[in-house]
Amino acid sequence: MLSLTALVFLPLVGMLVCWLLPSKHARVVNIVFSALVLLLSVALWAQMDVGAAGYQFEQTASWLPGIVSEEGIQYHVGLDGLGLSLVLLTAFVTLVSAIASWKIEKQAKGYHMMFLLLLTGMLGVFVALDLFLFYVFWEIMLLPMYFLIGIWGGPRRQYAAIKFFLYTLFGSVLLLAGVILVVLKTGSWSIPEITAQAQAALAAGEAGGILGSTGLCLAAFIGMFIGFAVKVPCFPFHTWLPDAHVEAPTPISMILAGVLLKMGGYGLIRIAYPFFPQAAVDSGLVISILSTIAIVYGAFVAMAQTDFKRMIAYSSVSHMGFVTLGLAAGTAWGINGAMYMMLAHGTISAMLFMIVGVIYDRAHHREIAKFGGLAWVMPKYFILASIAFFASLGLPGGSGFIAEITTFVGAFNGPHRIWAIISLLGVVLTAAYYLRTLAKVFLLDTPEVYKDAAKFPDLSAREYAILVPLALVTIYMGIVPATAMDMVKGFVEGTLVPMLGQAAGGAGQ
Amino acid sequence: MSDATLQLLCLTVLAAPLVGFVLQYTVGRRLGARGAWMTVFAIGVSLACSLLIGYEAFQGGAEFSKQFGPWTWLEPGDIEPGVAAEWTIGMRLDGLTAVMLVVVTLVSFLVHVFSTAYMKGDAKYGLFFAWLQMFSFSMLVLVLADNLLHLFMGWELVGLCSYKLIGFWSEKPAPCAAARKAFLTTRIGDLGMMVAICVIGGAVGSFEFERIFTAVANGAIDDTWLMIAGLGLFVAAAGKSAQLPLHVWLPDAMEGPTPVSALIHAATMVAAGVYLIGRMAPMLTPDVMTVVATVGAMTALVAGLIAVAQNDIKRVLAYSTVSQLGYMFLGLGVGAWHAGLFHLTTHAFFKALMFLGSGSVIHGCHHEQDMRKMGGLRKKMPVTAVTFLVGVLAIAGVPWITSGFYSKDGILSGAYGVSPVLFWMGLAGAVLTAFYMMRLYVMTFEGEPRDRHVYDHAHESPKVMTWPLILLAVLTVVIGPLAWHNIMLAPPTGVEPAAAWATIQSLEQEHAHAGTVMWLAIAAGVGGLLLGWLVFHAKRDLLATLKRPFGALEEACANKFWFDELYDVVLIKPAFAMAAMYRWFDEHVVDALVNRAGRSGLQTADASAAHDRGVVDGLVRFVGNACQGLGGVFSALQSGRVRLYLSLSVGVLALALLLEALL
């Protein structure tokens, strides 16, 4: 039972159950299967040797042999600590989002089936070890997302959904081009095997890397980087995100921010960087600059927003800038910090979007300026919102602090020191827009409208069940950071950092 | 006392207020006074342990230095290739820490007791004590830390607590804005700390103080970056300790409840910056030391000038704190390390005394803070008046009997040997301090009542509020001669003297100029007091005469030299303008390009479709029909009939799986 295949396809079973049962049971099925997925991933975690190098629970089946190589395309899945951390994040955020989906009434059956399909896609991306399989999951996840935004979204859902779909597809095409190039040149679809080839090329001092040509490597890296960067999203490929976030229903915003954005970062860490270490090192400066722009510019734009949800969306742009900043540094602190930022941002941003959702459900608007004094009418809500805000702005005790500091220290001690210093500005700006929002929404006078306790009740039990676990994980990750950091270290320090170090050393000679 | 016992004591010092916070936040806040006294007990436990530790440190003398830990907390791997660096936590206990522990827990304890009465009747009574506990805990984390990252965690938590407590009444706009200002201003300072952490981490491969100092002594950090790191630390300290030009938050922080002001000004917040510079002194280069001293002297002078022209009793005290902190930095910067930190301790007691005293006045006058409406209050609240006077005499540095005399004298004599300019600036500041403090005392407690209504309703505060005042007054007097002769405040031992460390003076050096300086300092303090007495009480007509030549200066002082206005124009407004501009750019350039690309895609499609229709015939029509058919399928999908789509996708997947099984 304890296999990755079971994990990945369990939601599909749920989908089937959903389809067979009457519509009113769909939400229960969703929660049950999301919970099962979480249980299964925790069981895998318990069974796993987290610190060990290489992949565990590997499963291989022949799928389309003879394409390019003898084995051809395989059904090949496996898990290491890095993948595990993201699988756990996915399962956890999905479960709380499933609970948050309780009140979806419009075509409930369709919604929950899409939701479960999405879960399969996301899990698949994090366990796939075959490039083709990876790509298939990558695309599978796109479709339900399109419908979830396009059908269950806000007023401008059509525009947002199409924009999201086309933008990501544009990224996917570049990614696909990169994948084809890699596969044709290396003769393998296997991610670990191609990584090994890249390592061998580095060890042999071949500047051409796996493609046999520096220029080609750079081109393929740029293609893949853009493909993943759209998802992250990196400046200037980020404008789909505010639209998608604002239009998506609350649970889908939570998944978008909590998990989907991480797929971009995962792709960079697992595929683009290890395949083309030389090109990655050579583009370090450009990526650092783009990251710094994302951090500072994203924070400024967030500051200028009047819509609560849009403000949170831009804060994601700003925070995800840390991920690429840490990566570009190529140091262990930097990349571990970047990975930690992904995990921290996963729970914190899900929490933030839920917090927006709570008040939108009650007030039916999201204008920051129209709120005020909510702390005095909804004190428990205020406490949880404060936890999310302060964790996001990087206060110790929350996971964001660990992520920011390790990333900064790593980025600063990498080759692009000056950009790390400039990006520090983001820390002050982030505090500025969060505290401003906190004051305008929660503090000061309460306008009469919000004093009606019947219309503005404090958190319900269901909302608690969503926000409290998110808050607990955020705080746990801030106080016992080693648990999550130890998961990602194996791949980062065992594989990626030495490769980037070797590549950088080569460039220096 | 064995090391294990000491370690246990240190842990208890930390644990008590943390447990207190958790209990009070979850349960105690609903229990009213019982919850409050529970927090008093918690901080009392901390205080008792601190006193034991202090005694042990006193016994140990200058050699006393312990380290508990470090325990690995996080291992993010190599900080740069080949240099692994861990994120550890651990405690370091030496004379400096011991002194800080006693000061923090003692002041905090008295503030807790005082607050049980002062905050009575407040809707958030219980919550207030919860945050007092957290504030104390954060500060204790900070002073016990044995490495920079650990210290930084306490440092940031202190920022959070100050935000919560300054903005305790954040249903009102002023406290809300003040809390935000405090957090953001200190956070600007924190950038300096982060730079320092980054530089040190990379160059040393560790954040532990001992290892940093050893590495600096060995020249592990190149000179430029060492200076940058030092300046970064100073910027951080200037933010927390309200030095020019980051001092603007402290006077506004008066918006918090008065016991919080006492805590912030004496023990938990502004002391952090001074402590940081004191702790990190061995790695500060002479250039950085010069900056520290100069900024400190300027702050002492400017804030003293501003204080003279304020009418809100708490604001005068606030600027006086800024000014006194300037003294401490002056002391540390010129190398009078002992005196600078000694002034931190003495100031903690007499400033806590005066702040709680002002709280007693405000409480007694039913929340009136304007000194122009006071006067003659000594008759109504004798205990407050007398204890307050002790504070005034101490801060003015009245010789021999007050603690302020000893510490200020040490700073001035340290400065005398290093730079005459700094010395005279400090001396001028001393005159100002005595002058505005006497003004404060006279306006509040002496002369005729200026507002009958306020005076008639004024009353002495209850015992639970006056007792802390009396105790602090006693401490203010005895701590001077008592602490001066001890050797607890000793520079970190076990450290090879680095080049930077050479600027630190020994106790003997600090006292080299004691004779001349002492008489000058006495003249400054007593002269300032007398002048204040004359101008504001005995010979009031003198005031108008004196004011005439200083009209412009008074205007500038009353307006606090327009720092806030300046920042509004050069920082805050531009930041918001920039934000608006970037938002416009994002919507009208970046996103517009995306939309344009999307549209041109559609246009190309339309154009080629038209071209096809016009030019190609039968085959095209066939293709067109086929497309239409497919389009029909897809539009059916898009009509929201999800089930159809799902059936399709499930079918496809099933096919794929079947295929897999067959192959």
Q: Do A62 and B663 touch (CB under 8 A)?
A: yes
- Residue B628 neighbours by CB under 8 Å, 6+ apart: none
Better-predicted residue by pLDDT, A172 or B487: A172
Residues 22-41 of B with CB under 8 A from A: none
Find residue B80's DSSP bridge partners: B83
- Going by pLDDT thresholds of 50, 70 and 90, the confidence category of residue B592 is confident
Phi first, then psi, for residue B70 (nearest 5°) are -75, 145
Q: What is the pLDDT of residues A41-70, one digit of tens each?
A: 999 999 998 878 889 998 998 888 888 888
DSSP string, B471-531: HHHHHHHHHHHHHHT---S---SS-PPPTGGGGSPPHHHHTTTHHHHHHHHHHHHHHHHHH
DSSP SS3 for A57: strand
Nearest to B195 among A239, A396, A421 (CB): A421
- Going by pLDDT thresholds of 50, 70 and 90, the confidence category of residue B661 is low
Q: What is the pLDDT of residues B603-657, one digit of tens each?
A: 887 777 776 666 666 666 666 666 666 666 555 555 555 565 566 666 666 666 6
The pLDDT of residue B657: 65
Q: Does A115 touch chain B (CB under 8 A)?
A: no
Rounded mean pLDDT of chain B? 82
Q: Do B149 and A405 touch (CB under 8 A)?
A: yes
Phi first, then psi, for residue A61 (nearest 5°) are -140, 145
Domain map (residue ranges) of chain A: 283-509
- Going by pLDDT thresholds of 50, 70 and 90, the confidence category of residue B501 is very low
User: What Å distances lie between residue A400 and A60, A314, A342, A349, B75, CA to CA?
Assistant: 37, 16, 10, 11, 17
The pLDDT of residue B195: 94
Does B245 sit behind a cis peptide bond, omega within 30 degrees of 0 on the bond before it? yes
CB-based burial label for A200 (10 Å; 0-12, 13-18, 19+): exposed
The pLDDT of residue A213: 86
Distance from CA of B125 to the nearest CA of A (A): 15
| B73, B131, B583, B585: best to mutate for the A interface, most A CBs within 10 A | B583
Q: Which residue has the tokens 């409208």?
A: A449
Positions of E strands within B552-636: none
- Going by pLDDT thresholds of 50, 70 and 90, the confidence category of residue B562 is confident
Query: Is there a contact between B411 and B330 (Cβ–Cβ < 8 Å)?
Result: yes
**Measured between beta carbons, which residues in chain A are less than 8 angstroms from residue B198?**
408-409, 412-413, 420
Residues 128-147 of A with CB under 8 A from B: 143, 147
Distance between CA atoms of residues A404 and A342, nearest Å: 11
Of A405-414, B129-138, B398-407, the poorest mean pLDDT is in B398-407
Q: What is the pLDDT of residues A394-429, one digit of tens each?
A: 999 999 999 999 999 999 988 899 999 999 999 999
Estimate to the nearest angstrom the gap between the alpha carbon of A91 and the chain centroid.
Answer: 12
Strands B83-84 and B87-94: unpaired
The pLDDT of residue B337: 81
Tokens of B386: 């007398």
3-state secondary structure B237-262: HHHHCCCCCCCCHHHHHHHCCHHHHH
Find residue A128's DSSP bridge partners: A77
- Going by pLDDT thresholds of 50, 70 and 90, the confidence category of residue B504 is low
Report which DSSP code applies to A24: G
- Going by pLDDT thresholds of 50, 70 and 90, the confidence category of residue A437 is very high
Examine the pLDDT at A464 and tell me if it is beyond 70: yes
Distance from CA of B358 to the nearest CA of A (A): 27
Distance from CA of A410 to the nearest CA of B (A): 6
Distance between CA atoms of residues A53 and A80, nearest Å: 8
Nearest to A402 among B74, B163, B640 (CB): B74
Nearest to A300 among B163, B582, B645 (CB): B582
The pLDDT of residue B614: 67
DSSP SS3 for B365: coil
Distance between CA atoms of residues B582 and B576, nearest Å: 10
CB-based burial label for A13 (10 Å; 0-12, 13-18, 19+): middle
3-state secondary structure B350-362: HHHHHHHHHHHHH
- Residue A145 neighbours by CB under 8 Å, 6+ apart: A118, A164, A165, A252, A256, A260
Q: Does B222 touch chain A (CB under 8 A)?
A: no
Q: Do B76 and A482 touch (CB under 8 A)?
A: no
Distance from CA of B642 to the nearest CA of A (A): 6
Examine the pLDDT at A90 and tell me if it is beyond 90: yes
- Residue A363 neighbours by CB under 8 Å, 6+ apart: A370, A371, A449, A450, A456
Mean pLDDT over residues A348-374, rounded?
A: 91
Residues 81-110 of A with CB under 8 A from B: 107, 109-110
What amino acid is encoded at B382 in this protein?
P
Q: What is the pLDDT of residues B442-462, one digit of tens each?
A: 888 887 877 787 778 878 888
Examine the pLDDT at A11 and tell me if it is beyond 80: yes
State which H helix or E strand residue B65 sits in. Answer: strand B65-74
The pLDDT of residue B497: 39
Sign of CA dihedral B303, B308, B310, B316: positive
Better-predicted residue by pLDDT, A423 or B60: A423
Nearest to A413 among B79, B176, B638 (CB): B79
DSSP string, B73-137: EE---EEETTEE--EEEEEEEEHHHHHHHHHHHHHHHHHHHHHHHHTTT-TTHHHHHHHHHHHHH
Nearest to B184 among A421, A428, A492 (CB): A428
Residues 41-80 of B with CB under 8 A from A: 73-80
Nearest to A151 among B79, B177, B640 (CB): B640
Q: Which residue has the tokens 């009575």?
A: B120
State which H helix or E strand residue B317 sits in. Answer: helix B313-334
Q: Does A12 touch chain B (CB under 8 A)?
A: yes
Q: Does A482 touch chain B (CB under 8 A)?
A: yes
Going by C-alpha positions, the residue among B517, B515, B369, B386 that lies closest to residue B451 is B369
- Residue A259 neighbours by CB under 8 Å, 6+ apart: A86, A89, A90, A93, A94, A122, A346
Query: Is there a contact between B504 and B409 (Cβ–Cβ < 8 Å)?
Result: no
Q: Does A402 touch chain B (CB under 8 A)?
A: yes
The pLDDT of residue B258: 87
Distance from CA of A164 to the nearest CA of B (A): 11
State which H helix or E strand residue B437 sits in. Answer: helix B420-445
Q: Does B590 touch chain A (CB under 8 A)?
A: yes
The pLDDT of residue B275: 92
Examine the pLDDT at A435 and tell me if it is beyond 80: yes
Residues 619-638 of B with CB under 8 A from A: 638
Q: What is the pLDDT of residues B334-343, one digit of tens each?
A: 888 888 888 8
ipTM: 0.91
Q: Do B184 and A236 touch (CB under 8 A)?
A: no
**Measured between beta carbons, which residues in chain A are less than 8 angstroms from residue B80?**
331, 413-414
For B201, nearest residue in chain A (alpha carbons): A409
Phi first, then psi, for residue B78 (nearest 5°) are -70, 135
- Going by pLDDT thresholds of 50, 70 and 90, the confidence category of residue B576 is confident
Query: Is there a contact between A104 and A152 (Cβ–Cβ < 8 Å)?
Result: yes
Find residue A76's DSSP bridge partners: A60
Q: Do B77 and A497 touch (CB under 8 A)?
A: yes
Q: Which residue has the tokens 């002495």?
A: B460
What is the Cα Rg of chain A in Å? 22
Q: Does A373 touch chain B (CB under 8 A)?
A: yes
Q: Do A412 and B591 touch (CB under 8 A)?
A: no
Residues 96-155 of B with CB under 8 A from A: 149, 152-153
pTM of the entire structure? Answer: 0.89
Largest CA distance in chain A: 73
Q: Do A304 and B582 touch (CB under 8 A)?
A: yes
Q: Does A360 touch chain B (CB under 8 A)?
A: no
The pLDDT of residue B484: 52
For B641, nearest residue in chain A (alpha carbons): A110
**Measured between beta carbons, which residues in chain A are less than 8 angstroms from residue B76?**
332-333, 336-337, 406, 409-410, 485, 489
Q: Does A249 touch chain B (CB under 8 A)?
A: no
Examine the pLDDT at A391 and tell me if it is beyond 90: yes
Does A469 sit behind a cis peptide bond, omega within 30 degrees of 0 on the bond before it? no
The pLDDT of residue A323: 94
Find residue B71's DSSP bridge partners: B89
**Measured between beta carbons, which residues in chain A are less than 8 angstroms from residue B74?**
402, 406, 481-482, 485
Query: Is there a contact between B513 and B417 (Cβ–Cβ < 8 Å)?
Result: yes
Better-predicted residue by pLDDT, B491 or A118: A118
Mean pLDDT over residues A217-225, rounded?
A: 92
Phi first, then psi, for residue B497 (nearest 5°) are -65, 120
Beta carbon pairs, A and B, within 8 Å:
185
Query: Is there a contact between A382 and A437 (Cβ–Cβ < 8 Å)?
Result: no
Examine the pLDDT at A234 and tell me if it is beyond 50: yes
Q: Do B660 and A410 touch (CB under 8 A)?
A: no
The pLDDT of residue A428: 92
Q: Does A6 touch chain B (CB under 8 A)?
A: no
Distance between CA atoms of residues A344 and B469, nearest Å: 47
Better-predicted residue by pLDDT, B224 or B602: B224
Q: Does A479 touch chain B (CB under 8 A)?
A: no
Distance from CA of B6 to the nearest CA of A (A): 25
Residues 432-461 of B with CB under 8 A from A: none
Nearest to B76 among A304, A397, A406 (CB): A406
The pLDDT of residue B490: 52
What percentage of residues in chain A have a pLDDT greater than 90?
Answer: 61
Nearest to B176 among A150, A396, A439 (CB): A439
Distance between CA atoms of residues B524 and B482, nearest Å: 24
- Residue A137 neighbours by CB under 8 Å, 6+ apart: A120, A121, A122, A124, A125, A128
Q: Does B496 touch chain A (CB under 8 A)?
A: no
Does A22 sit behind a cis peptide bond, omega within 30 degrees of 0 on the bond before it? no
Give the CA angle between residues A168, A171, A173 to the nearest 5°: 115
Q: Do B81 and A333 touch (CB under 8 A)?
A: no
Q: Do A300 and B578 touch (CB under 8 A)?
A: yes
Please, what is the angle between helix B270-280 and helix B125-144, to 10°? 10
Positions of E strands within B324-473: none
Nearest to B191 among A147, A427, A432 (CB): A427
Distance between CA atoms of residues B602 and B568, nearest Å: 48
Neighbours of B31 (CB within 10 A): 14
Q: What is the pLDDT of residues A265-316, one digit of tens each?
A: 999 999 999 999 999 999 999 999 999 999 999 999 999 999 999 999 999 9
Distance between CA atoms of residues B355 and B387, nearest Å: 11
Going by C-alpha positions, the residue among A334, A276, A271 that lies closest to residue A125 is A271
The per-residue b/e assignment along B599-620, b for 16 or more CB within 10 angstroms, e otherwise, is: eeeeeeeeeeeeeeeeeeeeeb
- Going by pLDDT thresholds of 50, 70 and 90, the confidence category of residue B482 is low
